[in-house]
Copies of this chain bind each other. A is one copy, B any other.
């Protein structure tokens, strides 16, 4: 019998996870702090309660895998309930930063058998009603593969990811945070700056002319600037150190480009590097998939190398 799943949080990610796990035949139940959300979940036929303690006790009773699917600021509060009610529960999460969550687990639920996770999926929508069972189909699902993680729970998380249709990307927590800073958080900041530059005054004069002329390149480049600010801030501010490194990298490239534009007028180095990088990204869309043996502690370094090559784990050998 496959491991039962207790989902803590019933927003877009938690709600989609409940639907995907149920579709895969898992025994699944969840919690929400909001009675309205819990009722919406129940109306859709899911076992969703506002009583997190009860859900966690049930997870402890049947040795289920509990999944934290709440925003980072709420994580400590949920972990305190874990420590009070189900202190040694099998635990993972779906939060978009990994070092901060690992630190919070160490501080608030140090006995939990925790292995971090991050399914790289989302839409512009949020909340239970936005959830869909195929949200994780073909998505990358990062599983924390730092030395010292509980390899038994690592297998639980990998199997949950596969059950949801995702591919496992093994990575150290700090490597994950540096990577998402570059490809998920930085895009939000550049989109915000591009949008504001388009809307800002032109040579000191307020004008809607630029926005009126803006078409597809502006629309695409600013799409994620339309995300609810609270979501973007929670995500970016929770990954401050890694994001600063990514911003500095981008600023260095922009500064070099600005210098070339002002001196020779030439932009070829910038434009060609961007074109080559975009082509390289496209080549990662169909990653090489590996089948591996159920990992023992000595296997984690090798798993991390798979992630660094842009490859994925798709099942057991």
Contact A277 B199 (CB under 8 A): yes
CB-defined interface of A177-199 with B at 8 Å, one 1/0 digit per residue? 01110111011111111111111
Contact A262 B244 (CB under 8 A): yes
Contact B253 A254 (CB under 8 A): no
Bound CA–CA A301/B206 (angstroms): 16
Instruction: Quote the shortest CB–CB distance from A310 to chain B (angstroms).
Output: 3
Q: Which of B186, B203, B274 contacts A245 (CB 8 A)?
A: B203
Contact A226 B267 (CB under 8 A): no
Given contact pairs A183-B198, A199-B281, a sample of 8 additional A-B residue pairs in the complex whose CB atoms are under 8 Å apart? A175-B202, A175-B207, A189-B270, A190-B194, A195-B281, A200-B277, A233-B271, A236-B267
Q: Which of B180, B197, B243, B308 contacts A186 (CB 8 A)?
A: B197
Bound CA–CA A198/B190 (angstroms): 13
Q: Chain A binding site: helix, strand, loop or mixed by DSSP?
A: helix
Bound CA–CA A311/B222 (angstroms): 21
Bound CA–CA A284/B195 (angstroms): 13
**Interface flag for A213 (CB, 8 Å):** yes
Contact A207 B221 (CB under 8 A): no
Contact A184 B217 (CB under 8 A): yes
Instruction: Quote the shortest CB–CB distance from A48 to chain B (angstroms).
Output: 27
8 smallest A-B Cβ distances: which pairs? A192-B274, A208-B310, A199-B277, A195-B277, A183-B214, A212-B310, A179-B210, A225-B274
Bound CA–CA A205/B122 (angstroms): 28
Instruction: Quote the shortest CB–CB distance from A237 to chain B (angstroms).
Output: 6
